[in-house]
């Protein structure tokens, strides 16, 4: 199946490696294309807005130095220097690499109002952000490990 592209398929994304914002193509693929790239769990969470069970994701208790990227398209999302133990069972960060790299969207599911976080380049569901995090931002980006991949800083 051919990938769908919108007319405005260019966006700006920040790259940790260069420290610059660059114009890139927005990534639009069919479910079939995503299923060929992702594991079942990654597809369910990132493309269908699922949630992994608390304390089951590979990054909830992960402490290496590096960058967390979108599992679908590789966009830089979070720096391990902003990761903290929220006690929730999901990887939590107090800030994003760059606001350009995410989309914040109101989520009315589960009979509550939350702010969903999506990858700006491919619209992957990453998790939610809450206003109960530590200083300096007071935010807790509560992410699903299944939506993330990790790159050690020395490999960036």
Known catalytic residues? 142
Cβ neighbourhood burial of 44 (10 Å; 0-12, 13-18, 19+): middle
Contact present, 92 and 81 (Cβ < 8 Å): no
Q: What is the separation of C-alpha 86 from the centre of its chain, rounded to a whole number of angstroms?
A: 17
Between CA 134 and CA 115 the distance in angstroms is: 18
Looking up tokens 């114009």 gives 23
Looking up tokens 């590979």 gives 58
How many CA atoms, within 13 angstroms, populate the side-chain half-sphere of residue 48? 15
- Please enumerate in sequence order all residues whose Cβ is within 8 A of that of 22, keeping only pairs 6 or more positions apart, or say none: 12, 13, 15
């Amino acid at each position: 199946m051919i990938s769908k592209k919108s007319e405005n398929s260019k966006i700006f994304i920040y790259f940790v490696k260069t420290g610059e914002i660059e114009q890139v193509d927005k990534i639009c693929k069919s479910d079939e294309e995503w299923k060929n790239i992702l594991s079942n769990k990654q597809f369910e969470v990132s493309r269908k807005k699922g949630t992994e069970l608390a304390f089951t994701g590979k990054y909830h208790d992960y402490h290496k130095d590096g960058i967390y990227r979108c599992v679908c398209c590789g966009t830089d999302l979070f720096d391990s220097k902003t990761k903290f133990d929220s006690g929730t069972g999901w990887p939590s960060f107090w800030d994003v690499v760059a606001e350009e790299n995410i989309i914040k969207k109101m989520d009315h599911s589960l009979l509550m109002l939350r702010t969903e976080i999506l990858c700006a380049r491919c619209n992957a569901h990453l998790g939610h952000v809450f206003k109960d995090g530590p200083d300096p931002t007071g935010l807790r980006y509560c992410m699903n490990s299944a939506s993330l991949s990790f790159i050690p800083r020395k490999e960036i």
